[in-house]
Chains A and B, each alone.
Chain A
């Protein structure tokens, strides 16, 4: 089946630093990738949608200068949290979609737990 990986699975960084999270589709080419954020005991909220070779589309209220998304290839998208602060601590999950796969399904990565101290 379609597999999506994320790296790292956990990261701790100091306030003010930047951290990059990678999302890879391992056995298919993802024309579209989505980045979600999940707060403890809450649902997933979409942050942005990225299409390969295009600028990401951010949801209302998401700071595009703070959460930089790059989808440089059909198998890799990256989320960079710039100048991280403790309130950015969260669980970040990506998903990927490719038209040739079974319809109406996004495949999710295992998530990255970010802790900002």
Chain B
């Protein structure tokens, strides 16, 4: 069964600090992996997408890495801001189409002043 596990479940950091969120998956055959940011009561918004051949991708202060061999991804947030407080969801798609995606349960990040 395809699974996506994220850690930690929740995280509190001080404004300005860096943090790293983890995503481990067992989805096969792998197509791509996305990180989404979801503000409370809102729909998820895509941050990055990574395919099998990509090791790292940045979007402003967000940098995602992918190790397809170990089936691990991380999302690094640099110089955190209060507006980074949200849930971050890892979504892995297999080659079966967009109905064949597996969602992680998310990491809830709270940035405090």
A and B part of one assembly: no
Chain A residues near B (Cβ < 8 Å): none
Chain B residues near A (Cβ < 8 Å): none
